[in-house]
Amino acid sequence: MKLFKNKGLVLAGIIIIGFSFWGFEKISDKDFNIIKNLDVFYSLFREVNLFYVDDTDPEKLIETGINSMLESLDPYTVYIPESKMDDFSFMTTGKYGGIGSLIRKSGDYVMIAEPYEGSPSALSGLRAGDLIISVDNYSTKGQELSIISEKLKGDPNTEVRLVIQKPGSKKQEKITLIRKEIQIDNVSYSGMLAEKTGYIMLSNFTLGASREVENAFVKLKSEGAEKLILDLRGNPGGLLIEAVRICNLFVPKGELIVSTRGKVKQWDQEYRTQSEPLDTEIPIIVLVNRASASASEIVSGALQDLDRAFIVGQRTFGKGLVQTTRELKYNGQLKVTTAKYYIPSGRCIQALDYSNRNEDGSVGHIPDSLISKYTTKNGRVVFDGGGVQPDLVDTSEELSQLSIQLYINNMFFDFATDYVVKNPVEPKLEGFAISESDYEKFKKFVISKGFDYQTQSEGKLNDLIKVAKSEKFYTEAEAEILALREKLKHDNDKDLDIFKTEIVSFLNEEIISRYYFQKGRIKLSVDDDKTIEKSLKLLSKDNELKEILSGI
């Protein structure tokens, strides 16, 4: 620490000398304020390190200062130190070296949440629910998930030694895995649906996403696909250029897909399709929801603006900001927002206005008074000011509070783990569903775990009670409030019956994933997806869809 302080004093001397030479030149008020505040920051940093009552971590203080400064701009402008560059590379390439498994906390230890099909973890027999007791003799007990994740990662073809404990067993086993390069597919699933309709689920926009979509589409066409559903629900986005290339598969060469505009002119660019398309005629429905963001919004918004696809689902997230990476010293990088993007109609779909924060520092949505009307290529009316509004709004994805809480509290995951222990034989994927007796077992399982939850109505009522008590009105209204509480009171057993269909779907998907991995989960969910059902009905009315998109 003393060494760090001494280096800091030397650095300060250099900075101050630099400021003094700078002072010989005429500088603007803005430049002077920058110099002054940097000097104040260093002085404050030095005094805290010298005189604070307890030992300080200078590196952590600086990192906190950097992160707080960037957080005041927007959530996407971040500093990436050298130690985090592997994670950043994974976000853009979808590749990393490791055992190929999602992990999560389970009590004091770490647990396998989902091994990737064909990965070292899956091939070695690791399954969801297996506890990881140690990694290379390093105990996972009480450790942060991020620390264990880093220990599991490493260069391909290197060994990692695990001690694991299988569900339902007290025996600990030692296994050795060879790390491999793990490639996370952008196209999570593709296949044929009814009525000659192809389906592609795109989960990310890392490097090569457009090639994966192209390969999937060509295969579907060879299998007789005459219509297409492109599923972007839950896709957080990624590389802008991959979004442009995916649009290029379905629209003519030379078409404007997205443009970017920033404070610095070098970020003002237009991105047009560069190649001849695969198919400009096939009817397309794009599925989106609130978690579809960034590149997902470029694809859905551009295809909507060009009247090339019909959009179904929920209004998208509304991230219309573009980030660029800038190299920094000591192998770090700055990911900084440099521009906003605009889709073909000219609209920007950014939902939050980070440049004009509220007095309390919170960020507000673009006000309705500033939302503008635009038109698609064929004259259909669309709006900016917050995500892509679907052509058909569908709320089939809306979940009950009960299902959400069961998921958060790992009830589906833990029951599936018990189920597989008792049913080791692989069931048939097609049409898989748990039995009535299995659901009754799940209800008893939930009760045995002491699960309870609070409905939104109960939560709002509790907030009302707190306010009423603080304002001294509670006593006067106590009888009415207690009567309302009784009416709103939920019953776990009753609610498990009311939302049975929804809960059974979650259970089916979680259980089948233990036997058939992620593709099995997706296949089962697609077969039971109400939004896809509605989309298939729309595609069966091909002429009506063409009329809508033509602006007639």
Where in the sequence numbering do the catalytic residues fall?
A: 294, 305, 319
94: left (phi over 0), alpha (psi -120 to 50) or beta: left
Going through 396-539 in order, the beta strands assigned E by DSSP cover none
- Identify residue 371 by its one-letter amino acid code: I
Strand partners, 111: 104, 131
Strand partners, 159: 178
Neighbours of 430 (CB within 10 A): 8
Residue-level length of the chain: 552
What is the rounded distance in angstroms from the CA atom of residue 228 to the CA atom of residue 206? 22
Phi first, then psi: what are they for 389, rounded to 5°?
-85, 125
CA 174 to chain CA centroid, Å, is: 34
- Identify residue 496 by its one-letter amino acid code: L
Contact 304, 530 (CB under 8 A): no
Q: What is the per-residue burial (b if ≥16 Cβ within 10 Å, else e) of 44-77? A: ebeeebeeeeeebebeeeeeeeeeeebeeebeeb
Task: Give just the sign of the alpha carbon dihedral 40, 45, 50, 51.
Answer: positive
Contact 325, 84 (CB under 8 A): no
| Residue 136 CB contacts under 8 Å (≥ 6 apart), including other chains | 151, 160, 161
361: left (phi over 0), alpha (psi -120 to 50) or beta: left
* HSE of 230, CA atoms in CB hemisphere, 13 A: 31
Using alpha carbons only, give the angle 377, 244, 533 rounded to the nearest 5 degrees: 70
CA 335 to chain CA centroid, Å, is: 18
CA 127 to chain CA centroid, Å, is: 24
3-state helix, strand, coil in the chain (%, to 5): 45, 20, 35
Contact 442, 412 (CB under 8 A): no
| Residue 282 CB contacts under 8 Å (≥ 6 apart), including other chains | 225, 226, 227, 228, 250
What is the rounded distance in angstroms from the CA atom of residue 209 to the CA atom of residue 192? 20
Task: Give just the sign of the alpha carbon dihedral 390, 395, 401, 404.
Answer: negative
| Residue 503 CB contacts under 8 Å (≥ 6 apart), including other chains | 402, 403, 406, 439, 442, 496
Strand, helix or coil at 255? coil
